[in-house]
Amino acid sequence: MTDWTPQTARAKDWFESLRDQICAAFEAIEREAGSDAAFEYTPWNREEDGNENPGGGVRGVMKGKVFEKVGVNVSTVHGAFAPGFAATIHGADEDNPGFTATGISLVAHMANPHVPAVHMNTRFLTTGKAWFGGGADLNPPIPYEEDTAEFHAAFRAACAGHNPTYYDRFKKWADEYFFIPHRGVHRGVGGIFYDHLECADEAAWERNFAFTQDVGKAFLDVFPKLVRRRMASEFTPEDKLRQLEWRGRYAEFNLVYDRGTLFGLKTGGNIDAILMSLPPEAVWS
């Protein structure tokens, strides 16, 4: 495995382009709401003993009138997994702990409880194998069937363009993954989740890269529509309390069960970037 493959560079370029498009779309919504909020970007460098090229990333955060807190992070890192952790990663083991990873991760917590929160990430990893993973899920404190249906339809269409089995498989995976066992509830209304789309040859890499791009495009198309639909809705103190309690469940999942959080912490990622998924305010009753 080389430090930076041409495939890693192409994936990195796409994730950065997608970030720029998403951030521009979110800032445009803030302008429509009469806010001048904008993303603030903070670069960070990863450190690893004996590694001259460990990589790093850029953390982007905006706090506005519509988006109470939204983080959009891109990172590209290279190194070796810690002993014990390598065995938990696809294609890695104690004898082959090296990895290269690049990806985009997004979480948006909204000011209005009628607007759904959302999570999206896509990534490309190289260990002893190379593969893509990612997905998106909608997390409304106050669900609307119309919003849920439109969100799922966008990802169903993205999947259908590549494999007729993808949507059912990846929706089921999301339903199983985004579940809080100690609460016995799902984190939201689902979406898709996929992992280990292996790239055994160049043709497979191109197919999986194209699918991953379409996942990002589907998110960029559908989520701003849902925000605009609900962002001017009136809400009550009871609605806000419902949102804050729901955010507590979201925080529990991300701190206890989320694999991405664990991966970032175990690979020397930027702590603020890793924990940007946590809401700005939450309550526990």
- Candidates 133, 138, 273, 162; CA nearest to 219 is 138
Instruction: Point out the catalytic residue in the list 109, 114, 119, 186.
Output: 119
- Candidates 10, 241, 35, 2; CA nearest to 132 is 10
As beta bridge partners, residue 56 has 45, 76
In Å, how far from its chain's centre is CA 47? Answer: 23
Q: Are 283 and 244 in contact (CB under 8 A)?
A: yes
Q: Which residue carries 């309690």 as its tokens?
A: 245
b or e along 63-81 (b: 16 or more beta carbons within 10 Å of the residue's beta carbon)? Answer: bbbbbbbbbbbbbbbbbbb
119 catalytic, yes or no?
yes
- Output the CA angle 279-280-283, nearest 5 degrees: 75
- Output the CA angle 218-118-55, nearest 5 degrees: 80
Rounded-to-integer distance, Cα 137 and Cα 169, Å: 14
Active site residues: 119
